[in-house]
């Protein structure tokens, strides 16, 4: 028995390596997008062996043409690099040059827009799982420009899910619970469910608060059921704040004022305030995402402009949060909880401020706090947005499988359920 336990530990333990995240390493690179073809608001997922395609877009504000390349890095379910080499999970060449680009037009800001359709027939993932798209300069992987997470699905497991209101009194009105069932195929060789099957739940495509290490409340050889009050429970938040920047000339009702210079535009967003004590209001949002759009030109990819956008948040009583850092949060800041998204309190104006360079489009965002003493650096809506059970959120359930003696986690199941429409029960 001890012998088999040791073997299981050897084969199924995740490597103690750093997680790879979405990040941009060059200040001249802006507005990085990786999404399914034709859908800017969806998460980048493709099915293995299908005709699914992803769109990659980004701008280089230096304006000149550069040699950008990309490659794929296979990762485990926890986003640590797998033990496999590139030739084990990439079909064709291990790197590919981005050859489609266009210089901006009808814009004060000069930039070169790059785009690519992935996967290319000469460079494509050959296994399912978590992948990091790495973009770098001149074919030199040490000159890393940015990274983006993506998923490759080999759909073999089915998932049925619903969103429930927790029974626990303290979180009954503020949290949402994900109850679900996973059906595994008969031919899947699962000897140890706890070691070979891993389940991850994302709220609005966020990885910073993903539910991991989930344990089934019931399991058989081909069926796992998850229904607990501790593992898959999320603070619901509120509907995301929004900012319409489709036009810099025609200001939306969220814009306080604008300054138009000869070479740049400045947009000042109306100061935001705390929403935790406000009554919940349901409205359609993009769940933290953004889309590049314009009402003033034909092609938003290279016929849109950039503006310096000033955000402001006024805390209760105009007093900074005690022992809390405040962050501007959403896809527009890569969901970062670092200096790139951290807001600074202006003692003179009695408010937090943050400035971003943003392209014409429609943006969702919110404000979160992080306790300065929290080693896990968990983002919280408690002091800024509040939490309400009625909030519409999208939950993504990911099921991973590792074969006996396997060296990577395979993504075999994916399902999405809305907290607004997914309350009718498991079918």
Give 95's contacts (C-beta < 8 A, 6+ positions apart).
69, 70, 71, 123, 139
Residue located via tokens 């009718």: 424
**Contact between residue 77 and residue 130 where contact means Cβ atoms under 8 Å apart:** yes
Domains of the chain (ranges, CATH numbers): 2-153 (2.20.130), 158-236+390-418 (2.60.40.10), 241-371 (2.60.40)
| 219: pLDDT strictly greater than 60 | yes
Average pLDDT over residues 2-26: 57
Cα–Cα distance for residue pair 182/99, rounded to 1 Å? 42
Give the gyration radius of the chain's Cα atoms. Answer: 23
Q: How would residue 235 be classed by pLDDT, with cut points 50, 70 and 90?
A: very high
Residue located via tokens 């980048």: 44
pLDDT tens-place string over residues 25-84: 999 999 999 999 999 999 999 999 999 999 999 999 998 999 999 999 999 999 999 999
Cα–Cα distance for residue pair 135/121, rounded to 1 Å? 18
What pTM did the predictor assign?
Answer: 0.92
| 346: pLDDT strictly greater than 70 | yes
Q: How would residue 13 be classed by pLDDT, with cut points 50, 70 and 90?
A: very low
Average pLDDT over residues 115-138: 96
Cα–Cα distance for residue pair 29/31, rounded to 1 Å? 7
pLDDT tens-place string over residues 179-197: 999 999 988 988 888 889 9
Q: How would residue 170 be classed by pLDDT, with cut points 50, 70 and 90?
A: confident
């Amino acid at each position: 028995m001890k012998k088999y336990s040791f073997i299981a530990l050897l084969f199924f333990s995740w490597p103690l390596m750093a997680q790879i995240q979405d990040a941009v390493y060059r200040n001249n690179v802006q507005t990085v997008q990786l999404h399914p073809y034709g859908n800017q608001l969806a998460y980048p997922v493709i099915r293995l062996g299908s005709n699914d395609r992803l769109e990659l877009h980004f701008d280089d504000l230096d304006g000149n043409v550069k040699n950008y390349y990309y490659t794929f890095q296979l990762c485990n379910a926890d986003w640590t690099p797998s033990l496999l080499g590139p030739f084990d999970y990439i079909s064709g060449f291990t790197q590919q040059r981005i050859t489609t680009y266009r210089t901006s037009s009808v814009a004060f800001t000069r930039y070169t827009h790059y785009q690519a359709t992935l996967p290319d027939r000469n460079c494509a993932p050959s296994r399912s799982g978590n992948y990091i798209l790495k973009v770098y300069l001149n074919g030199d992987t040490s000159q890393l420009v940015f990274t983006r997470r993506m998923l490759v699905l080999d759909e073999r497991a089915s998932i049925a899910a619903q969103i429930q209101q927790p029974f626990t009194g303290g979180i009954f009105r503020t949290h949402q619970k994900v109850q679900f069932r996973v059906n595994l195929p008969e031919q899947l060789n699962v000897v140890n469910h706890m070691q070979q099957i891993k389940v991850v739940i994302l709220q609005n495509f966020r990885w910073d608060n993903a539910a991991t290490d989930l344990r089934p409340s019931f399991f058989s050889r081909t069926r796992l059921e998850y229904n607990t009050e501790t593992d898959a429970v999320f603070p619901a938040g509120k509907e995301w704040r929004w900012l319409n920047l489709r036009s810099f000339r025609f200001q939306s009702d969220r814009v306080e004022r604008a300054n138009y210079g000869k070479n740049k535009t400045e947009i000042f967003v109306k100061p935001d305030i705390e929403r935790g004590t406000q009554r919940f209001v349901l409205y359609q949002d993009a769940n933290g995402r953004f889309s590049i759009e314009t009402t003033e030109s034909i092609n938003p990819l290279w016929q849109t402009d950039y503006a310096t956008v000033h955000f402001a948040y006024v805390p209760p009583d105009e007093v900074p949060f005690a022992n809390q850092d405040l962050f501007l949060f959403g896809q527009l800041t890569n969901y970062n909880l670092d200096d790139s998204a951290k807001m600074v309190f202006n003692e003179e104006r009695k408010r937090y401020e943050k400035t971003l360079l943003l392209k014409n489009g429609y943006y969702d965002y919110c404000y979160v706090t992080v306790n300065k003493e929290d080693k896990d650096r968990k983002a919280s809506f408690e002091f800024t947005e509040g939490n309400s059970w009625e909030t519409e959120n999208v939950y993504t359930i990911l099921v991973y499988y590792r074969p006996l003696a396997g060296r990577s986690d395979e993504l075999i199941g994916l399902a999405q359920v809305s907290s607004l429409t997914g309350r009718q029960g498991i079918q």
